[in-house]
Amino acid sequence: MTEMTDFQKKITENLPEITLRLHEPMAKHTSFRIGGPAHVMAFPKNESELAQILQVSDLLDIDWVILGAGTNVLAPDEGLDRLVICLKDCMDGIEQLDDTTIRVAAGVTMTRAAVFAANLGLSGMEFAHGIPGTVGGGVYMNAGAYGGEIKDICTAVSVMDRKGNIRRVSGEQMGFSYRHSILEETGQIVVAAEFTLEKADAAAVKERMQELAEKRRASQPLNLPSAGSAFKRPAGGYAAALIDQNGLKGFQVGGAAISEKHAGFVVNLGGASAQDVKTLLTQVSDRVFENTGIRLEPEVRIW
């Protein structure tokens, strides 16, 4: 067995009750299927365990990062010597608060939350059904698709600060803009979000979700590992169209390539490294900039 580093000892000795995994491959937890081992990964089951992890980290000066479903993260090949706190499936629970509002824990997938809303005959979350991340990641990123965005439906968020204190903030206070929320600046963690929806016919809501799922299947390379759209939408255009117009469909660096099916997606053809993806992103962005003067910025979070 590999010997424990001081960093690993410090965490395991101080958090004996928390589920921890050592040398956990990030590739197992990211939709790109890329990333070396996290020295320690923690799986808090609830808010109190998460608070405990943050308090111990604060006391011992341990650097941490939050992971949802890993569907918008490019993790480094060499691994991470930080504590990775994984919330997917750990911070669980959905409840109906009133006729039109549901409260969803951060680790629940957006698909599950959308299905829950549909079963109650609530409309507004259909767009989120095919986004493969967690509610925490979706709120952090202000995820969106097919004309809908988290900011349209999110009326309140429970956030935890670095000391483990929870505060409920309104949707307006979240500073939502395109693929951005104020959490990028504050470093707070989403523990749950409230979505206010509209009463509708459950069958119609489900039909709309089916329709969007079919659109996705027809246009996106869902059979290959990726992190969805690799670039943010630039002002006045679409990243996929610019990449396609510059003849970059299929452009490949190592095991990473611009999808032949959807030029906005970078896919892992097998054995791609994080370095392959980063080089590809830079080369594509440079080529588009040289030809159009438009600079494409990565949407995927590069750790």
* 111: Cβ contacts below 8 Å, ≥ 6 apart: 128, 129, 130, 131, 132
Question: Closest CB to ligand FAD among 188 and 285?
Answer: 188
List the x/- string, 78-117, binding to ligand FAD by CB under 6 A: ---------x------------------x-----------
Q: Which of 11, 51, 53, 67 touches ligand FAD by CB under 6 A?
A: 67
Q: Which stretch binds ligand FAD (CB under 6 A): 11-19, 45-53, 97-105, 143-151?
A: 143-151
Q: Catalytic pick from 24, 57, 126, 179?
A: 179
Beta carbons within 10 angstroms of residue 117's beta carbon: 28
Member of 118, 131, 288, 296 binding ligand FAD (CB under 6 A):
131
Number of residues that bind ligand FAD (CB under 6 A): 33
Q: Does 145 bind ligand FAD (CB under 6 A)?
A: yes
**Residue 228 Cβ vs ligand FAD, minimum distance, rounded to whole Å:** 2
227 binds ligand FAD (CB under 6 A): yes
Long-range contacts formed by 165-169: CB under 8 A, 24+ apart: 165/51, 166/47, 166/51, 166/191
Nearer to ligand FAD, 121 or 221 (CB): 221
Residue 291 CB, nearest distance to ligand FAD (Å)? 26
Distance between CA atoms of residues 167 and 160, nearest Å: 6
What's the closest the beta carbon of residue 241 comes to ligand FAD, in angstroms? 16
The answer to whether 217 is a known catalytic residue is: no
- What part of residues 25-64 is at the interface with ligand FAD (CB under 6 A)? 31
**C-alpha span between 227 and 298 (Å, rounded):** 11
Which residues on adjacent β-strands are paired with residue 37? 25
Q: In angstroms, what is the minimal distance from the CB of 29 to ligand FAD?
A: 8
Query: Does 71 interact with ligand FAD (rule: CB under 6 A)?
Result: yes
Alpha helices in the chain (DSSP H): 6-14, 47-60, 110-119, 135-141, 150-153, 183-186, 202-219, 239-245, 274-292
Distance in angstroms (rounded) separating the CA atoms of residues 7 and 62: 8
User: Catalytic: 285?
Assistant: no
Task: Specify whether the CB–CB gap between 143 and 149 falls below 8 A.
Answer: yes
By the rule CB under 6 A, 268 interacts with ligand FAD: no
Report, in Å, the least distance between residue 300 CB and ligand FAD: 8
- The conformation of residue 98, written as its DSSP 8-state character, comes to S
- The minimum distance between CB 195 and ligand FAD, in angstroms, equals 14
Backbone angle region of 133, left / alpha / beta, with phi > 0 → left and psi within -120 to 50 → alpha: beta
Question: Which residue from 51, 122, 183, 193 is in contact with ligand FAD, where contact means CB under 6 A?
Answer: 183
- Round to whole Å and give the CA distance between 67 and 266: 20
Active site residue 149: no
Contacts of 56 by beta carbon, 8 Å cutoff, 6+ apart: 11, 14, 15, 62
Catalytic residues: 179, 229, 299
Give the footprint of ligand FAD on this chain (CB under 6 A): 31, 65-73, 87, 106, 131-134, 136-138, 140-141, 143-145, 183, 189-190, 220, 222, 226-228, 301
